[in-house]
Amino acid sequence: MNLVVDVGNTYTKIGVFDTSEIVYKNTIKQNSFKKEIERVKKEYPLIAKAIVSSVGNMNKDQILYVKNSFNTLMLDHKVNMPFKNLYKTPNTLGIDRMVLVSAAVDQFPKKNTLIIDAGTCITYDFKNEKEEYIGGAIAPGLRLRYSSLNNFTAKLPLLELTSPQNHIGKSTEEAIHSGVVFGILYEIKGVIEEYCNIYPDLTVILTGGDAHFLSKRLKNGIFATSNFLLEGLNCILAFNNSR
C-alpha cells in the first residue's frame, strides 16, 4: 500500500492506495498533519511507501516524521516522470501540473489529453499521444476573479461564488456573478474548442476544487474527477519504484 500526501498552502490532502485503487482520502489543515499520519499508520499498517508533494509550508518535523515512518519519495523536479517534458523552462513548471500530467499518462495512455485544473488558478496542461508534455496556460480561477474585482476597484463588493440565473445581470451583484462564472465557462469552452481544432480526438479532464461546480455547467464529454492529483502522485511513486 502507498501513502500519498499533497501539501498545499492551507490544506493537505492525504490518500492511501492499494495498488491503483484509492481506499482512503482526507483533507486536513496543516496543524492536524502529524495526528492524521499517525491515525493512517494505525488504520493501514501495510503502507510501505509514501510520496510527498509540497507547494505549501511543510516544516522539517513533518518531513522527518513521514520519512521515519515510511520509505518516502519527496517530489521535486529531479524525480523521474512518466512523460517527456518539452516545456521551455522545465524547472519552473509547477509540481502539481507535473503530477496531473502523470495521471493523464497513466489513465489515458497514447491519447492527446488536455487537463484543466480549476482551483485558485485555472491551469490548462496538454500532453500528446507520444506522451510528450507540450505546455498549456494559467488563468485566474473563480475566487481569484471575485477577489480581484473587489481589491482593484473602489466600490465593487466581494461576493461568494453563486450560480447566476441569467446572463444579463440586473444588479451589480448579479452582473459580477454573470461576468465571473459565465466568463470562466466561455473561457474553458473556447480553450477546448481551440485544442479540438488541432486534435479532433482530444480527451479532456476537469479536476480541482471547482471541478464539480463547473462540470455541471459544461457539455458532456469531459471527464470530471476529484482524485486526479492524488492518483497522479500514486502513479509517480509506482513509476519510480519500477525503475
Is 11 known to sit in a ligand binding site?
yes
- pLDDT number for residue 31: 82
Q: pLDDT, tens digit, for every residue of 30-59?
A: 888 999 999 999 999 999 999 999 877 788
Is 72 known to sit in a ligand binding site?
no
Task: Give the active site residues.
Answer: 96
Contact 17, 62 (CB under 8 A): no
Contact 206, 53 (CB under 8 A): no
Contact 186, 167 (CB under 8 A): no
25 strand-pairing partners: 15
- pLDDT number for residue 221: 81
Q: pLDDT, tens digit, for every residue of 77-118?
A: 999 999 999 999 999 999 999 999 999 999 999 999 999 999
- The CATH architecture one would assign to domain 84-233 is 2-Layer Sandwich (3.30)
Q: Does pLDDT of 220 surpass 90?
A: no
pLDDT band at 210 (very low <50, low <70, confident <90, very high): very high
Instruction: Tell me, letter by letter, the H, E, C secondary structure of the chain.
Output: CEEEEEECCCEEEEEEEECCEEEEEEEEEHHHHHHHHHHHHHHCCCCCEEEEEECCCCCHHHHHHHHHHCEEEECCCCCCCCCEECCCCHHHCCHHHHHHHHHHHHHCCCCCEEEEEECCEEEEEEECCCCEEEEEEEEECHHHHHHHHHHCCCCCCCCCCCCCCCCCCCCHHHHHHHHHHHHHHHHHHHHHHHHHHHCCCCEEEEECCCHHHHHCCCCCCEEECCCHHHHHHHHHHHHHHCC
Percent of the chain scored above 90 by pLDDT?
85
Q: Locate CATH 3.30.420.40 in the chain.
A: 2-74, 84-233
Phi, psi of 149 (to 5 degrees): -60, -35
Rounded Cα distance between 181 and 160, Å, is 11
Q: Does pLDDT of 60 surpass 90?
A: no
Size of the chain, expressed as the number of residues it contains: 243
Write down the residue that cell numbers 500514486 correspond to. Answer: 234
Rounded Cα distance between 223 and 204, Å, is 6
Rounded Cα distance between 176 and 209, Å, is 21
Is 44 known to sit in a ligand binding site?
no
- pLDDT number for residue 55: 76
Q: Which candidate, 126, 147, 123, places its Cα nearest to that of 198?
A: 126
**CATH domain 2-74 topology:** Nucleotidyltransferase; domain 5 (3.30.420)
pTM: predicted TM-score of the whole model, two decimal places: 0.92
Q: What is the largest CA-CA distance in the chain?
A: 60
Is 10 known to sit in a ligand binding site?
yes
Amino acid at 10: T
Is 190 known to sit in a ligand binding site?
no
State how beta strands 132-140 and 84-85 pair: parallel
Is 195 known to sit in a ligand binding site?
no
